[in-house]
Amino acid sequence: MYNRCCIHSPLHSSGFLSSSWLPIPNLNVSIKNEKRERVVKASRDVTMNSKKVIFQVHRMSKYNKEEVLQKAEKDLAAVTNQYMSRLIQEYVEAATFCGFCKNGTLLTLDEINNTLLPLSDPSLQPLQINILDYLLGLADLTGELMRLAIGRISDGELEFAQKICRFARDIYRELTLVVPHMDDSHDMKTKMEIMLQSVMKIENACFSVHVRGSEYIPLLGSDDPGSFLVGVADIEL
């Protein structure tokens, strides 16, 4: 018998999802396209800001060398913090998502970094992902797990969806132990709130199908008053 996850607060909100929402396959395509656009935009921004740094350095003279280099280093750090870190987090999210689908386990930071070693120049310090970017990327994983679980339920794979629920719940529980020790300047707190929402959606999806029977296969955008998605304004995380 399916045991409902320990995080079982019901979703409360007014209104219903619009019946004009796209079905799951089309929604997944839309989500992928939106993510691709974000990556493309981030790449353009990195290029633009990097060129800005180069142009600044070219304006250097013996009279303003220190001032120009300080400004250039500051702008370069902004590129790293604002863009590179986010791209790495996206990579961690994708790598851990694929790892779970393949092996049913969480891809560790060491395992991810080991896959990057062949890409590094042996004569230089190897490219490695730091623990902060790993944790921030991991926090985004539950959003994809939620979409995966709903898709599996729609295909009648409740057992796999239950496994996803347990996995997402474990990640959330472990991160709650880490977050209190993290710098408040990072956006982990917001991500944790979104993680909890995702876990709750997975749980409610599994529980609804378990209670109402296998004939109840929910679709995104359902206006059924008994749907576990009623009142959920948006699943885009």
Rounded to an integer, what distance in angstroms lies between the CA atom of residue 163 and that of residue 38?
A: 30
State residue 170's pLDDT score. 95
Closest CA to 201 of 179, 159, 168: 168
The CA-based dihedral angle spanning residues 183, 137, 172, 202, taken in that order and rounded to the nearest 10 degrees: 140
Instruction: Label residue 15 exposed, middle or buried (CB < 10 Å: 0-12, 13-18, 19+).
Output: exposed
128 vs 33, 50, 223, CA distance in Å?
Answer: 28, 21, 46
pLDDT score recorded for residue 124: 76
Query: Are 68 and 60 a contacting pair, CB within 8 Å?
Result: yes
Annotate 61-77 with DSSP letters as a single string.
-TTTHHHHHHHHHHHHH
Res 237: pLDDT? 32
> Distance between CA 212 and CA 215 in Å, rounded?
8
**Helix, strand, or coil here: 107?**
coil
CATH for 24-212 is 1.20.58.2140
Q: What is the DSSP string of 203-223?
A: HHHHHHHHHH-TT----TT--
The pLDDT profile of the chain, 237 residues, written as one tens digit per residue, is 444 444 444 334 444 334 444 455 566 667 777 777 877 877 777 777 777 878 777 777 778 888 888 888 887 777 766 677 888 898 999 999 999 998 899 999 999 999 888 877 777 777 789 998 999 999 999 999 999 999 888 888 889 999 999 999 999 999 999 888 887 656 788 889 999 999 999 999 888 887 776 555 554 444 444 444 433 344 333
Q: pLDDT at position 214, please?
A: 53
Domain layout of the chain by residue ranges: 24-212
Number of Cβ within 10 Å of residue 19's Cβ equals: 8
User: What pLDDT sits at residue 230?
Assistant: 37
Q: Give the model's pLDDT for residue 118.
A: 82
Contact status, residue 130 vs residue 186, Cβ threshold 8 Å: no
Structure tokens at 99: 């790892």
pTM of the model: 0.63
CB count in 10 Å sphere of residue 51: 10
Compute the distance between CA of residue 145 and CA of residue 168 in angstroms, rounded to an integer.
7
